[in-house]
Structures are given as structure tokens and as C-alpha cells.
Amino acid sequence: MQIILFGPPGSGKGTQATKLSELMSIPHLSTGDILRAAVSSKTPIGIKAKEIMEKGGLVPDEVVLSIVKQRISENDCKKGFILDGFPRTLVQAQALDEVLNLYNKSINYVIEISVDQETVIKRIIGRFSCKRCGANYHENFKRPKRDNVCDYCGSNEFTKRKDDSKEVVENRFKSY
């Protein structure tokens, strides 16, 4: 089963995709996460994407498509996958159809999550994560059980994404 979660940045696509992934035993493919991993690994795609992402812009279609194409060809995607953050444009959707045809697959469901800009801003500017294990938290909605201690790995090192500022969020919402 192939599912697309569609909605603005901060709408909860990642949260819902994680729950669906566990429930259905299929991978959650977040293009944002894949791109951020490429940035931190300093791959050629990552270097190219870093500047664009930090300004809140959208990474070019050919870059995102190549990442998605490579990822859905992996063994864990044979039973299906959940796409989060892709496609974002009609051109990307058409290109995704072409890629899926190569694997005799098609999209089974598209789920749209609708959230207003003010809510998105509150959600995004308050989020942070554990630097060691990547567990996600929020200043208002999901704090660690013990202050400054990760619930999962016990680390006391947390980080915020550079692109989680009000200005960048507003730009990303407009781009969306």
C-alpha cells in the first residue's frame, strides 16, 4: 500500500506517518528527513540542498525525485510506504507516477491534513529534538518527562532545527 500525506509544514504529517508506519509495518519516507540526513552527511545533494532549506525554500524537483526514486527501490518498500512531504507540485506528482510505474505500483490513498498558518507557526517554532537519538519534543505540547533529560536515551543534549524560525515558517507556508 502506498500512501501520501499532504499538508503544510507543521501540520502533523510526520506524527501521523509514524503512527501509520508502525500500524501497517511499512516505512515512513520523509523527504525532509532524507534531505537533512544528506545535509549532515555533506553529500553533494546535501550541500546543494542546505542553503535552500535554511532559507525555507523548496529543493529542486530533480534532486528530490532522485532521492525518492532511490529510496522506494529499497527492499523495505516492497510492501508499500508512506510519503511525507512529497510530492509538493504537479510536476513532482507526475514524475512520481512515472517512477511508481517502473515498480508496477500506484498511490492507494492521499490524505490531506489542513491546518491554519498561526497553528503551524506555534507548532514549528516550539519543537526541538534529542541530539543523540532524535526523539521529538515541543516546548508547550510534549516536553520530556524530566526537564532536560530525553525520555528515550537519557541524553541532556537537545537541538532545534535552524529552519524552525517564524520567518522561515511563514516563507515555507507561502511556498506550500
Positions annotated as catalytic residues are 13, 88, 127, 161, 172
User: Which of these, 133, 91, 132, 93, lies nearest to 110 by C-alpha position?
Assistant: 93
DSSP string, the chain: -EEEEE--TTSSHHHHHHHHHHHHT--EEEHHHHHHHHHHTT-HHHHHHHHHHHTTPPPPHHHHHHHHHHHHTSGGGTT-EEEES---SHHHHHHHHHHHHHTT----EEEE----HHHHHHHHHTEEEETTT--EEETTTB--SBTTB-TTT----EE--TT-SHHHHHHHHHH-
Q: Among candidates 72, 75, 63, 77, which has minimal Cα distance to 97?
A: 72
Q: Which of 59, 57, 86 is nearest to 72 (CA)?
A: 86
